[in-house]
Amino acid sequence: MYKTSEFSSMTGLSKDTLRYYAEVGLLEPAFIHPDNKYRYYDDGSYFLALLLGKLRRFGFSIKELKTVMNDESFANLEKLLREKKSSMEKEAEDIEARIQELDEFIQSGKEEK
């Protein structure tokens, strides 16, 4: 069992994030000491925390994370990852187009001088 501070260091999730994930039902501590209310996490929690951290870095919303966590078989995970990838590719194309437009705008300003 790991205290919140240890678990935070191990997973890269802040203590505030761990508390929030517990509040919204994404990642509950394995045990809460009845006297001092310290939260403890176990090895199973560790793998879930790593998954949640990875999905957040991919831009998954809390709602999307809940969808993944509520599907115990994780059957939907590949579908959601492919959808997220497609969305990110579209976003990258949009950003690339705006960068191109910005470059053209900068260049047009230089030509006037």
Query: Would you write out the chain's pLDDT as a tens digit for each of its 113 residues?
Result: 889 999 999 999 999 999 999 999 899 898 888 898 889 999 989 999 999 999 999 999 999 888 888 876 676 788 889 999 999 999 999 999 999 999 999 998 876 55
Helix, strand counts (H, E) of the chain: 5, 3
Q: Where are the domains of the chain?
A: 1-60, 71-112
CATH architecture of 1-60: Orthogonal Bundle (1.10)
Residue 1 to residue 51: CA distance in whole angstroms: 19
State the pLDDT at residue 100.
Answer: 97
pTM for the full predicted model: 0.74
